[in-house]
A and B are shown apart, each in its own frame.
Chain A
């Protein structure tokens, strides 16, 4: 039994024990411990990540003549560690007082823990897949496990969003199955390497169909344009820490499969040769543009949200675009930035979701129009959110800056000014909306009903602080992560990045975050020195001792403007929000329901039995025809 087998045995035992344990307290402690053990096991397997090794599981299944097996590469390890650490944070967060409150409000805590571990297990199965069949099976597991997580919330919107997700997921799975069938038809095997062979043998038109089928399958999971509509609501309407977990990593499974199938085995070089409109657009630049639009459109939808969870979930969709955009640049720093952004995004997204859940835990609402001024009551949560939004907005010294900088740099170096502008537009929207998030939650006027609010207990505070430490450390010293990225690039055949502890070395201008952060903190230090040691007499005042044109402020006078937060901006860009994708979705839904009504009516108006007989006769006839043809 090698390390991977041991790891999967532990994962399986964890799943069984969490499913079996009925005692809530024991269950929450045990499940957190299992995640810790999984992290330890992954740490023991770290040679995969540092030396680009591969561990193949001894366990395999012979099925219809081919061998289905599982293996761990640097890529699988990277995504696994993110998955397990996010699950650990979520599990720790819900193990204490949050879980107690969840049960009091009628939630099924055991089921939530089970949904979490099921998600983790299915993701690990997917990440470890060694061939297309095991990939497809893992893919289905992940889809249904997320569905279980999404239906835990009793609200109607949650159910609706979950059903919508399942329909999208089935479409994606069918596309993936069709692509698999194409591989099988051409080579009679479902090995990853057969993708390359099958691709080379195809005609040009088939190549487009082949790549698009794979891409649609994966893009739906990742929420890339135009399949972005399902994700945000479905993730936001999930019980607290579950939303943090799903938002952090779940949809990145789509990116993992894109990396394995499209980047590693079809190859970006091959995509570049598939011309759509000579010389402007080829398949690779099409995907890059899809990624760029994914950064812009969902980010600006997030700007309009007034529910904190939905705002974050829409950002989760938008940030996926940066990852794909970086990878599609097909160079060392672009793809390194894209890959790093997976980890960076997971860390700050989980931290941000947990802060919002902490606010909901104390105030009972995540409506940004009904909060405000909580900084005095929940200062540590504020700090975590501050660190998180600095990361999400991509400002130094947090980790979001590093990965976004690499993507920008690569766009500039590769001569893609339009994509660069698109990426910057996305960042602009991100900064605007995260400012809205922290302002409407923590700054401004504290409401009367929130005056007794206190900081959340330590069981919730520890995972939040831990995640924010990760956000800072990986931003301060990206060299801790970059060896893993370099091994991934080596594994999937991308140019390998040159790195050091502070960042990257690059002929056209590298990055050293230790210097960047050092200068930043030096600037803050000089300011703090002047303010705190050279005279600065600060005086704390009450929030009603404030200037509002001379008004005497009281709890009745609201001077915290949160509703319609960017009226000036919306005056300029408001007309661009036309809901075109929603409209398109509705058109497809109506067309399909029209067709189904048509068939239903036909079926009902005639003799149903006769129709059945007719179908059966036709089916039998075609089978007979085929077989007799094959026989002769």
Chain B
């Protein structure tokens, strides 16, 4: 029964995507999604009070690690960026840099009401209200603050999204950053000013992943081109 189901599903996805010559390719794809959802490294960018809820979520009482999620120290190896609480304008710059330094596939979780709509800081001039205006957010966990159970619930939802990505297209919010880079960049520029840039060349990465869309280029990327100081990689010189 299971095998049959799998076959039907894979036939469905076959129609959506380009033809795969290997008959086992879709089985592998499902397997890869399964594996990805079971092993997630998390970089917690602890910006606000929501960070308080992470120690109990990580440690023995709620034990996040049984879900296959554990903390990681650098964005290069991390899969999840956890933003826990309000992001001031100054912090948001760092959060965006960290997000851009992560390697795809990458997922963002916003914890606390502050990331959803500014929360108790909604009147503040120095706080970014909606996180998903600046980077694609996979899962929001609302609450002020959410209990560890809620955090785990959110993480579980992310895992399910990743596992069923090819059917439901829910777990690939990160692709949106490349496909609609112009939109995100515009919001960032509105907030930080016209000189805003990070060392990461997002457009080049979009080309690398084959995710260039119509929204990748636009007015704002043109503005960026004008002010950008690209940091070229250092070459080995003999």
Contact = CB atoms under 8 A, between A and B. Distances in A.
Report whether chain A binds chain B: yes
Interface of A: 375-377, 379-380, 446, 454-455, 537, 539-545, 547, 549-553
A547 B76 contact: yes
B23 interface: no
Contacts of A547: 74-76, 98, 101
B234 A545 contact: no
A376 B236 contact: yes
Contacts of A541: 199, 231, 233
Given A539-B208, A542-B232, A545-B231, A551 B237 contact: no
Interface in B196-238: 198-200, 208, 231-238
Contacts of A544: 199, 231
B167 interface: no
Contact of A551 (B94, B231, B232, B234): B94
Given A540-B234, A547-B76, A550-B97, 6 more contacts: A379-B237, A540-B235, A542-B231, A545-B101, A545-B199, A550-B45
A98 B238 CA distance: 18
A542 B234 contact: yes
A353 to B, nearest CB: 22
Given A539-B208, A542-B199, A545-B199, A550 B236 contact: no
Contacts of B75: 547
A379 B234 CA distance: 12
A376 B235 contact: yes
B108 to A, nearest CB: 14
Nearest to A454: B237
Given A545-B199, A547-B74, A446 B94 contact: no
Contacts of A379: 236-238
A455 B238 CA distance: 6
Contacts of A549: 94
Contacts of B238: 379-380, 455
A457 to B, nearest CB: 11
Contacts of B237: 376-377, 379, 454-455
B95 interface: yes
Contact of B234 (A539, A543, A552): A543
Report, nearest first, the 7 A-B pairs whose CB atoms are least far apart: A550-B94, A540-B233, A542-B231, A545-B199, A376-B234, A379-B236, A547-B74
B95 A550 contact: yes
Contact of B200 (A375, A545, A550, A553): A545
A399 B94 CA distance: 48
Contacts of A553: 199
Nearest to B234: A376
B230 to A, nearest CB: 9
A544 B97 CA distance: 12
Contacts of B234: 376, 446, 540, 542-543
A544 B231 CA distance: 8
Interface in B74-91: 74-76
A550 B94 CA distance: 5
B237 to A, nearest CB: 6
B112 to A, nearest CB: 19
A559 to B, nearest CB: 12
Contacts of B231: 541-542, 544-545
A541 B232 CA distance: 7
Contacts of A376: 234-237
9 contacts: A375-B236, A379-B237, A455-B237, A455-B238, A539-B208, A541-B199, A542-B232, A542-B233, A544-B231
A380 B238 CA distance: 8
Contacts of A377: 237
Contacts of A539: 208
A550 B87 CA distance: 13
Nearest to B99: A550
A537 B233 contact: no
A550 B98 contact: yes
B211 to A, nearest CB: 14
Contacts of B95: 550
A613 B143 CA distance: 105
Most chain-B CB neighbours within 10 Å: which of A377, A446, A541?
A: A541
B102 to A, nearest CB: 9
A92 to B, nearest CB: 20
Most chain-B CB neighbours within 10 Å: which of A543, A545, A551, A553?
A: A545
A541 B236 CA distance: 12
B85 to A, nearest CB: 15
Contacts of A542: 199, 231-234
Contacts of B101: 545, 547
Contacts of A455: 237-238
A492 to B, nearest CB: 46
B41 to A, nearest CB: 13
Most chain-A CB neighbours within 10 Å: which of B97, B200, B234?
A: B234
Nearest to B75: A547
Interface string B129-152: 000000000000000000000000
A541 B198 CA distance: 13
A550 B233 CA distance: 19
Most chain-A CB neighbours within 10 Å: which of B75, B93, B97?
A: B97
Nearest to A549: B94
Contacts of B94: 549-551
Nearest to B209: A537
Contacts of A375: 236
A541 B230 CA distance: 11
A92 B75 CA distance: 47
A552 B233 contact: no
A455 B236 CA distance: 10
Contacts of B233: 540-542
A82 to B, nearest CB: 31
A543 B236 CA distance: 13
